[in-house]
């Protein structure tokens, strides 16, 4: 049936799992940076711009995850 013996559904599940692991890792990275800023200066005094700057990413990146 092709080069692999896996079904298309099995391949899709593998890709989905890999994507989920990357998503979880990015989300955790964002949460850790935010938590550090909250601890340093308080929740009310922390802005999205500061979180973005600490991560070195864009606002859309943070909102995506």
Q: Which domains does the chain have, with CATH numbers?
A: 8-64 (1.10.10.60)
pLDDT in tens, 9-60: 555 566 777 789 999 999 999 999 999 999 999 999 999 999 999 999 999 9
At 8, list the tokens. Answer: 């298309």
pLDDT of residue 19: 80
Please tell me the pTM assigned to this model: 0.71
Read out DSSP for 3-17?
S-SS-HHHHHHHHHH
- Say if CB 20 and CB 14 are below 8 A apart: no
């Amino acid at each position: 049936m092709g080069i692999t013996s896996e079904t298309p559904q099995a391949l899709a599940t593998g890709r989905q799992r890999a994507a989920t692991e990357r998503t979880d890792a990015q989300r955790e990275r964002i949460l850790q940076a935010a938590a550090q800023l909250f601890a340093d200066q308080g929740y009310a005094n922390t802005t999205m711009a500061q979180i973005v700057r600490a991560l070195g990413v864009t606002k859309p990146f943070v909102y995506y995850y």
